[in-house]
Amino acid sequence: MILLPLIDILEQYSIQEVENKLSTFFCAKNRDIEDFLHTKAVAYEKAANAKTYLIIHDTDEIAAFFSIALGIVDIKDLQSTTQCKKIRGYGRTKAEYIPCYLLGQVGRNDCFSKND
């Protein structure tokens, strides 16, 4: 299996080819996951709202995918000073917001088991 950034695929193939390939992904347990990859992943990638990575099986099928976005955690209302110190780290004693990565979507294709 290999990990491919969606942006790299978009640079090599037409939008139609990419969307056709993405439409082969099925996730019956969570149609929102399926819908994201089928209809939103390309737009989010182009707008730099999220970065999607495809896990491609040796058969060239999409085995799984995940999307990551940048986010902000509001820590100004944390009650524990110990928690604040741990989260802020060194050099950010007054920070009220901390940048973070947000794991937005994660899905495995129904065509593959967890053992594949």
- Domain boundaries along the sequence of the chain: 2-104
- As its CATH architecture, domain 2-104 has 3-Layer(aba) Sandwich (3.40)
CA atoms within 13 A on the CB side of 76: 6
Q: Could you read off the pLDDT of 26-74 as tens digits, one per residue?
A: 999 999 999 999 999 999 999 999 999 999 999 999 999 999 999 988 8
Q: Which residues pair with 105 in a beta bridge?
A: 67
Residue 92: how many other CB atoms lie within 10 Å = 14
**pTM of model > 0.95:** no
Helix (H) or strand (E) holding 94: none
Confidence grade of residue 99 (pLDDT, cut at 50, 70, 90): confident
